[in-house]
Structure 1
Amino acid sequence: MTAGRRKLSGGALHSRKVAPYVFVSPFIITFLMFQMYPIISSFIMSFQEIVPGDTKFIGVQNYSKLVQDQHFYTAVWNSMRYTFWTLLILLPVPLVLAVFLNSTKMVAKNFFRSTLFIPALTSIVVGGAIFRLIFGELENAPMNVLLSLFGYEPVKWTSGAGTGMFLMVALASWRWMGVNIIYFLSGLQSIPNELYEAADMDGANAFTKFFNITIPLLKPVTVYVLTISIFGGFHMFTESYVFWGTKSPSDIGLTIVGYLYQQSFEFFDMGYGSAIGVAFLVLVLAINLLQLFVSGQFRKEA
């Protein structure tokens, strides 16, 4: 009996060195199959010309074409503008709302938390369809009716560059506001209440506590939200697709991922689409590494 227990305890699953790798192996296998393998395959495909029934290496021709492609630069510019405006809204506004929802003086907190989070549970396609109805181009569209009450002419929302960007940013803000509020709420609830009580004893007002206690201690959460928001902004596709599909007037809704989809699955140029994907990966990685460096995430603690 004792020998059997010793034999069992000596198994691989009971080894302190082996057991951790067994438990993390599902994640490692999933990461290698569904993330690392596609990235490597895309990198290889970016040096190929891929047509139905034939694949051949063409060197850096896809990248040479990409450098001269004005549509790609338009897609990058649109994605950068979209990311900028979403960051401008989806960082400070959820933070302020989270502070209010975390306050002990706030009434009906659970109701407002649920209300603000419900859009995150709604399909972006459904949300986009609703937005298209509200911001329709006809005179009897709800938003145009509202504008007419103030003496303004009807607006063709999906035809202009400015109004088109407004629609995409508004849809993203409506969808992701509640998610970022949850992130900031979790960070606020981890701040010791004693710090605020000590500040009250020193005569600090609400603004002083917010800028000298709340914001500094929320830095890790803020950096995380900023990082995922940058990636989310650049990889946006559905918000544009629900308004224009893959072809918008004067490319006002063209994004990097939308252009990748267009080249790969409409024009069947998988090699060029892979080159766009690799450029997209490098661009987002560079921007996020830069913001992590600027925010001090790479500095060693003293």
Structure 2
Amino acid sequence: MVEDRIRGIFARAGADGLLHAVPVGTASVAAVAAGTEPGDGEIAIGADEPVVIASIFKVLLVLEFARQVAAGQLDPRERVRVTRGDRLGGWGTAGCADDIELSLRDLAFFAMTVSDNSAADLLLARIGLDTVRLLAGELGLDRTRIVGGPRDVLEAMLAEVGARDEAEFALRYPELAEERKRRLSALDPLRTNASTPREITRLLRLVWQDEAGPPQACSQVRELMARQAFRHRLVSGFPDGVAVAAKTGTLPGLHMEAGVIRYPDGGLYAVAVFARSRELTASRTEVDAAIGATARVAVDFLRSAGL
């Protein structure tokens, strides 16, 4: 069975994985929104299990931003200053040494393409946490929960470890017992931003079918996802000529990516893969490669079935 092959790939990488893969456009939009999926037209391994979504939440965030721009509620050229107090460390504005100023649409660009946490926080502050939550409900993502932005997740982790800042966290975290690491709220789908693999592919299908908002808003999300810089997970599983538009998410021991795979013949497949490594480290190249490999197995099976 294809599911056994996928489980075997994760096991050899030292991880447990959940996956949902489904063609885009094979079911009616109404059925997608209502939460009904074609049972024979999917690969589902724990597809309805709750999962931490980490930075995959930025797809909803940027979608809501694009919807507000399309509705004339926001000027995408509005300027925002990113100061020392806004920086969380990492890519994009989050790792800059000096204060910078940029537009709201550039915040969305950095949040999606390089998973810039500072950009995401500032964008979330501008569009409103409640509006992102309402969007999830409007799209029928009843099991998707957004509790806050990247700073909220980071501050919870620092508090639980007893660290004053990221540097102290980096020193304290490796010394924690494994059981204490696993109790961190950021790693618990019942206490942080969470969804299910099936709901994430549903979100992607709605975006790709222009049913998650005005067509121009959905188009903007698709374009930004296609420009994501990280290519070590889903992209690694597919040959040249196959386009991948996706968003990663990473926390200690959690590796994930969700995206849409587009073949030259026009075939489109939404895939969401969530892997938990058995060692709670931030970087495991074997697990990252397994995400691409399992996605390829799932999509190959769907294509072989003529879906």
Tell me if both proteins adopt one fold, taking TM over 0.5 as the criterion. no
Bigger Rg, which one:
1
* Larger relative strand fraction: 2
* Larger relative helix fraction: 1
Structure 1 length-normalised TM: 0.24
